[in-house]
Amino acid sequence: MRNYETFRRRFFAAIGALSASTAVACESSTAGTQAGDTAATSDTGAAEDVLIADDATATDDTSLADIPTATDVPSSNDLPPIGEDVMLADTDQDVPAEDIALVDTSGDDVPAATDIALADTTHDVGPAEDVGPAEDVGGPDVSGDLCGGGSSATTCYSAAALKYNIENPPFGGKPGAFPMAYEGPLPPEGCPDPSLVQDGCCNPGVGVAQLVGDECCYVHCNGACCGRPLEVDGVRRVAGLERRRDWLLPERVSASTLLDGHARRALAAAWREDARDEHAAIASFQRFGLDLLSVGAPPELVADATRAVMDEIGHARFAFRLAADLDGSGEGPGPLDCSGLVVSADLTAAAVAAAREGCVGETLAAVVLGAAARACPELSLSAQLQGIADDEARHAELAWRFVSWAITTGGDAVRSAVAHAFAHELAAGPGEDPREALMLGVTDAQRALAGRLSRRDSETLRRRTLVEIVAPSVQELFGVSRLQPAIAALAGHAHV
């Protein structure tokens, strides 16, 4: 698992848990290719590309820059065969998930919690065990067909957890609904409206809440938390589509003639939705850069956020071009509604958003894109996917660096909020890829030709990434050697 270890060490270095000289760097003879003529140029400070082939050699003598700028995506050769049990990675040895014991190695900084992955250090929401949902409960099955056949999770909340959730968006609650304090029904008397109770991916409850003893149980449909979305007042925004070709890269990126009409249309629809998200991410990173300025962040973070804007322009143009190559439609983005888009000087909110969207979302994106690049038999398309994977890896590192700085700067309030955000993300798991509904009837081989992983491989890889990369990085960030049941449950479902 050399590349998983390298990924972890790079993130550990990014959050200051390792000195630059001890982080392991991988050398590659394969140079990554940037996506599009607007992608970051040589002055962006990119160190190495995420590997296409697993032919890198690790060396303890290779020094990293003080602030790493690229990571290595785990090779498919590093993954066990489908169906093989997944091990939780440890810096010393691999330990089966079911044998994990929660060991606190942080002294008195973060006491072990019993109900969430990391302890709450605030004092206004009750004991740590009452804050945050249980992961997946075996309680009443109220899901029915509420998620349109997609996966769901039933989560039960105590009264204190519900009040905290509703009053503390974006990792819980409906933004703007209760700017002061929630005074509505709470268990055991009653349950809040499901629309007010959101999981860590901003998925509201669906159906009817069930009162079970002194807890309220809600069904949350598992949506993917990926990329860096543009959200205003808790609502995700993307531009509409219109006939235009200026947002397409000038050169074709796919020349495959092996796809039938249905596959072309379905895969084009998936890539076009990705393109709309990448287009919206331009505004999201611009807002992030302004947020960094408003909270007094270091210049290196601001500079890298600015470079990420240029990366996202290249990603959007690539995805619009690939969609056009697949179905012949010359569509691009229409106007993006940026009304209400405000700069925030709230360090806590900025850190929570970076944890969810960057540390988790963009780490997943980097790994999945790297794997898709290796699986794609079309060399030109593979190389361009690899360039985007490298960009996403740098964006993930930027998020880890900012979150680490924010915790150091903001103290317990930021630390507690970020801990809860990570706990929710890890308990929820990677979620369903929202593009799957667009690719029904497309074979795995057809997906590979267009740079997409199979449904099974994508789900397995994303869950494995949470267990092997994100969770250990969170543990290192908070000084806790093992996250508790949320991670054990996540690892337990990492095989299919």
The pLDDT tens digits of the residues spanning 256-279 come to 889 999 999 999 999 999 999 999
pLDDT, one tens digit per residue, over 63-78 is 222 323 333 333 333 4
Last residue of a domain, one of 345, 365, 386: 345
Q: Give yes or no for residue 136 having a pLDDT over 80.
A: no
Average pLDDT in the 338-357 region?
87
Last residue of a domain, one of 294, 316, 345: 345
Structure-token match 């909110």, residue found: 349
* Whether the bond into 170 is cis, omega within 30 of 0: yes
User: Quick check: is 144 in a domain?
Assistant: yes
Last residue of a domain, one of 345, 378, 403: 345
Q: Which of 214, 211, 177 is nearest to 197 (CA)?
A: 177
- Distance between CA atoms of residues 478 and 29, nearest Å: 35
User: Quick check: is 359 in a domain?
Assistant: yes
Considering the domain architecture, whether residues 182 and 288 belong to the same structural domain is answered as: no
Structure-token match 């998200």, residue found: 277
> What angle (nearest 5°) sits at the alpha carbon of residue 450, between those of residues 203 and 238?
35
User: Quick check: is 441 in a domain?
Assistant: no
User: Quick check: is 443 in a domain?
Assistant: no
DSSP character for 438?
Answer: G
Considering the domain architecture, whether residues 278 and 198 belong to the same structural domain is answered as: no
Q: Which helix (H) or strand (E) element contains residue 332? A: strand 331-333
Q: Give yes or no for residue 139 having a pLDDT over 70.
A: no
Considering the domain architecture, whether residues 462 and 423 belong to the same structural domain is answered as: yes
Considering the domain architecture, whether residues 325 and 462 belong to the same structural domain is answered as: no
Considering the domain architecture, whether residues 98 and 194 belong to the same structural domain is answered as: no
Task: Kindly list the distances between the CA atom of residue 387 and the CA atoms of 62, 155, 282, 391, in Å, as whole numbers in the listed order.
Answer: 23, 38, 17, 6
Q: Is residue 143 within 8 Å of residue 207, measured between CB atoms?
A: yes
pLDDT range class, residue 480, cuts 50, 70, 90: low
Q: Give yes or no for residue 117 having a pLDDT over 70.
A: no
Could you tell me the residue range of the domain that residue 266 belongs to?
237-345
Q: Give yes or no for residue 301 having a pLDDT over 70.
A: yes
Q: What is the pTM of this model?
A: 0.61
- Distance between CA atoms of residues 374 and 32, nearest Å: 12
Among 94-98, 110-114, 432-436, the range of highest mean pLDDT: 432-436
User: Quick check: is 442 in a domain?
Assistant: no
- Distance between CA atoms of residues 137 and 441, nearest Å: 33
pLDDT over 90 for what percent of the chain? 41
Considering the domain architecture, whether residues 89 and 105 belong to the same structural domain is answered as: yes
Considering the domain architecture, whether residues 385 and 490 belong to the same structural domain is answered as: yes
Considering the domain architecture, whether residues 10 and 142 belong to the same structural domain is answered as: no
> What angle (nearest 5°) sits at the alpha carbon of residue 381, between those of residues 400 and 333?
70
pLDDT range class, residue 343, cuts 50, 70, 90: confident
User: Quick check: is 170 in a domain?
Assistant: yes
Considering the domain architecture, whether residues 256 and 306 belong to the same structural domain is answered as: yes
User: Quick check: is 314 in a domain?
Assistant: yes
Average pLDDT in the 103-121 region?
33
- Distance between CA atoms of residues 182 and 164, nearest Å: 9
Considering the domain architecture, whether residues 43 and 125 belong to the same structural domain is answered as: yes
The token pair that represents 130 in the structure block? 């009452």
| List of long-range contacts for 285-294, beta carbons under 8 Å, 24+ apart | 285/228, 285/309, 285/312, 287/230, 287/341, 287/343, 288/228, 288/350, 288/354, 290/343, 291/343, 291/344, 291/345, 291/350, 292/350, 292/402, 294/343, 294/344, 294/345
Q: Which of 386, 459, 461, 363 is nearest to 15 (CA)?
A: 363
Task: Kindly list the distances between the CA atom of residue 80 and the CA atoms of 74, 75, 100, in Å, as whole numbers in the listed order.
Answer: 12, 11, 20
Q: Give yes or no for residue 417 having a pLDDT over 80.
A: yes
Domain count across the chain: 3
Considering the domain architecture, whether residues 123 and 182 belong to the same structural domain is answered as: no
Considering the domain architecture, whether residues 479 and 335 belong to the same structural domain is answered as: no
Strands 215-221, 152-158: parallel, antiparallel or unpaired by DSSP?
antiparallel
User: Quick check: is 444 in a domain?
Assistant: no
